[in-house]
Structure 1
Amino acid sequence: MRILYHLPLSAECRKVRLALMEKRIPFEPKLERVWDRREEFLELNPAGTVPVFQDENGLSIAESSAICEYLDEAYPDPSLFGRTLAERAEVRRLVAWFDLKFGAEVTKNLIYERHFKRQLGHGNPDAANIRAGYANLKPHLDYIGWLAETRAWLGGTHISLADFAAAAHLSVLDYANDVDWKYNPAATEWYQRIKSRPAFRPLLAERVSGLNPPAHYDDLDF
């Protein structure tokens, strides 16, 4: 059985889960509390981070982009990286944008500060970082809205890992009720389309212990 070691509020983990489910690849999600530094898990990934994917052949892969590249090569139908060299380059650029730039400027400042920092033993939440996260979210929503208005999907003519990377970060933020969906209607309409896909249903049904999402979180017509 394929196994994905994950945390529910990790955007990188959600990106991999969405890729697996869009490709209809059966797998078992296993919650991994990385702050426990479990010896068996560290043998799989000495960095002690999630996600980690274990395939049926016994191969273990860490880091979300490495996992998604592997999945697209090992299970190519449907491709989540595009059909041409130009499309694949653009999808990779946008995935990096959301995982690195959006992740550092928004997700880390909001989700890490408030929900992971203490558990990892890194101190108390920093109010200045949280304020920066909310301020940074608006230009990112504007960029997503612009992409959604000028293309069929964020990466081009077909749905791709770029859409799932962006949606993974936004879904984590939305679970924590951090997104003002009235701010950019084009970004909201795109997110409605992608969260209506069957691949999204397990995420929308999942609940994190001690933290309930807002009422609109699993509403496809919010």
Structure 2
Amino acid sequence: MEDTAQSPPTRPSVLITGGSRGIGLAVAAALADTHHLLVGGRDREQLQTVCDGFPDAEPWPVDLADPGATAEAAAAIDTLDVMVHSAGVEAAGTVEELTREQWRSVLELNVVAVADLTRLLLPALRRASGQVVMINSGSGYFSTAGGGLYAASKFALRALTDALREEERGRVRVVSIHPGRVDTDMQRRIQGEEGYQPSDHMRPASVAQAVAMAVRTPPDAVVESLSIRPS
């Protein structure tokens, strides 16, 4: 008698950088029921703890500031449905205060590492007719006194995203998400001296739902850019 049993369908895969905390972790939780998760970060043990809490997840430990390690980790991915760039650093300081090294460090992580990882994974994304989701910021639209470095990195990320979208149109969908202030450890640390008010911030899960909506948009459409702010 012929065996008509079928293996379960393969889940679409998503790689989330910065996936062990904040918005990245919330995105992992929002997509966990429908996707195979590759949870990116630097601390393997922390990543494994996060992955143990999801039904179908594995750690993707890599220091994105290390080009060799990034290339090696990316080479192991043959097909990828979604790439969520959530890793990044914040910085504050006036132009007078900030050093050349601080400018280089922030731009390296928030722009150069994103561009490099995207370049490395484009073949895998094209095979799946996949999506790239950039977690940008409201600072990708405007800057404030003391916020020039962070905004410069996010303006540059927006330019990178816009160029990538046009270069890959018809092959890979490219999404830019611009959250306002989000209740994360990073924001608490940065704003501690101001008197932090969680009520003035969104939950990471709210941003993650916006990401999930963009990811689940049918393939004949793309959410090109989405601004989400505290209500």
State TM-score, norm by structure 2: 0.29
Which one has a larger percent helix, Structure 1 or Structure 2? Answer: 1
Decide which structure has the larger Cα Rg and report it: 2
Higher strand share: 2
